[in-house]
Chain A
């Protein structure tokens, strides 16, 4: 529930894979599922290592990018100001 996280003021938010399995996906093969989980956790680590001034959603690809410097945290234009 990314919008709820932003609304209550969580500062570093990483969208995950859904309510019923945030860090997985039962429809993927075990290998692909674990790779998905790893991408989300790596994204979370990058978020922890990034300074933010307001609730920020860390979107964007992670595994297929070369490094953290390319990750641009994108504040949600609509409700980041609350």
Chain B
């Protein structure tokens, strides 16, 4: 609980540090009431909103050790409703307690609380109203889900259980096969009836366009590929699917890539043609000629390569960032990334 729901005081007490009270205090009484015979609130851990907001990680570490000492089976944090600092603290504490103590945790917030977007991925956050007008009601919903988590029961779909989707996919068996569901959805769409797509559409944050390379004739240009070209033997053990690694391969002194020295480990397309002639993926031959002719200032002497097939978004972004940082440090002005 924060200072307010823990009955320490209002905003004037927001700087107060953490303490522990035996049993249920303040809003935790609603949690005890919702638990009924199913459990006991062993302690209430309280802390001021600003204390956490100003110390973030250090404050969470303190709170985690206070929770650890209680040897509880479940942590209920909040609900935080629309209170932003409180919501972020609840999310951070629940995530840390689950990660470090292995104790399941549940919290609750209004959908506009910034804690939702920050922590929904890691924590079950129950959807609540904006204000604490029906505290017992909200506590009941937190407790219902919390008990399932504590008992390691299977957790159902977000709508059924009342928590914000965590963005984690899980296979379940549907009532009807996919062909019937697709036909029914089409009929709904044709008739203008509401329907629910089974896949959320991806949205990608726009990447700001870097300014143009003002003078290519004096610029250093690098070649990068996600088409899976590797030296024979795949020294960096780049995965043929869902890559987590990339390689940096020197082309210093090479006018061309010798097919016998290269292999291709990409599993998403027929690599026969690229193995016959690696230039079909990484155009070192042509780039060298353009360098000789002065059309390009300099060809960067290192080619970066990975396999872009079923790669997770997180790994793609990380590898992209790392490769970009290395290229930038090496003074590269522009990149030609060849992709299959």
On chain A, the residues within 8 Å of B213 by CB distance are: 48-49
Q: A41 near B207 (CB under 8 angstroms)?
A: no
**Main secondary structure on A side of the interface with B:** loop
Alpha-carbon distance A8/B226, docked complex (angstroms): 15
What sequence of 0s and 1s flags, for each residue 1-34 of chain A, a beta carbon within 8 Å of any chain B beta carbon?
Answer: 1000101111110001001111110100000011
Q: Is A44 in the interface zone, CB < 8 Å from B?
A: yes
Alpha-carbon distance A26/B280, docked complex (angstroms): 9
Alpha-carbon distance A57/B322, docked complex (angstroms): 26
B122 to chain A, nearest CB (A): 25
Alpha-carbon distance A76/B270, docked complex (angstroms): 29
Q: A41 near B270 (CB under 8 angstroms)?
A: no
Contact of B290 among A11, A19, A42, A51 (CB under 8 A): A42
Contact of A20 among B216, B221, B270, B296 (CB under 8 A): B270
Q: B216 near A45 (CB under 8 angstroms)?
A: yes
Alpha-carbon distance A12/B269, docked complex (angstroms): 24
A80 to chain B, nearest CB (A): 11
On chain A, the residues within 8 Å of B204 by CB distance are: 7-9, 82
On chain B, the residues within 8 Å of A20 by CB distance are: 269-274, 340
On chain A, the residues within 8 Å of B214 by CB distance are: 49
A45 to chain B, nearest CB (A): 5
Q: B283 near A41 (CB under 8 angstroms)?
A: yes
CB-CB nearest in chain A for B203 = A82
On chain A, the residues within 8 Å of B280 by CB distance are: 21-24, 26, 33, 37
Q: Is A53 in the interface zone, CB < 8 Å from B?
A: yes
B165 to chain A, nearest CB (A): 22
Q: A38 near B286 (CB under 8 angstroms)?
A: yes
Q: A22 near B340 (CB under 8 angstroms)?
A: yes
Q: B273 near A41 (CB under 8 angstroms)?
A: no
Q: A37-B279, A41-B287, A53-B209 are in contact. Are A22 and B216 (CB under 8 A)?
A: no
Q: A45 near B207 (CB under 8 angstroms)?
A: no
CB-CB nearest in chain B for A51 = B212
What sequence of 0s and 1s flags, for each residue 251-276 of chain B, a beta carbon within 8 Å of any chain A beta carbon?
Answer: 00000000000000000011111101
Q: Is B131 in the interface zone, CB < 8 Å from A?
A: no
Q: Is A63 in the interface zone, CB < 8 Å from B?
A: no
Q: B285 near A19 (CB under 8 angstroms)?
A: no
CB-CB nearest in chain A for B209 = A11
Interface size on A, residues (CB 8 A): 33
CB-CB nearest in chain A for B296 = A45
Alpha-carbon distance A24/B336, docked complex (angstroms): 15
Q: A45 near B205 (CB under 8 angstroms)?
A: no
Alpha-carbon distance A22/B215, docked complex (angstroms): 26
Contact of B210 among A1, A11, A22, A49 (CB under 8 A): A11
B331 to chain A, nearest CB (A): 16
Contact of A41 among B210, B269, B336, B340 (CB under 8 A): B336
Give the residues from 31 to 82 in chain A that come closer than 8 angstroms, CB to CB, to chain B: 33-34, 37-38, 40-42, 44-45, 48-54, 82
Give the residues from 177 to 230 in chain B that come closer than 8 angstroms, CB to CB, to chain A: 202-207, 209-216, 219, 221, 227
Q: A23 near B209 (CB under 8 angstroms)?
A: no
Alpha-carbon distance A21/B279, docked complex (angstroms): 9
Q: A1 near B339 (CB under 8 angstroms)?
A: yes
CB-CB nearest in chain B for A24 = B280
Pairs across A and B, CB under 8 Å, 25 listed: A1-B339, A1-B340, A7-B202, A10-B207, A20-B270, A20-B272, A21-B274, A22-B339, A23-B283, A34-B285, A37-B283, A38-B286, A40-B283, A41-B283, A41-B286, A41-B287, A42-B290, A44-B336, A45-B290, A45-B334, A45-B336, A49-B215, A49-B216, A51-B211, A82-B203
Q: Which 9 pairs show the lowest CB-CB distances between chains A and B?
A: A24-B280, A11-B209, A21-B280, A48-B334, A21-B273, A9-B207, A51-B212, A48-B213, A44-B336
**Residues of B at under 8 Å CB distance from A?**
202-207, 209-216, 219, 221, 227, 269-274, 276-277, 279-283, 285-287, 289-290, 295-296, 334, 336, 338-340
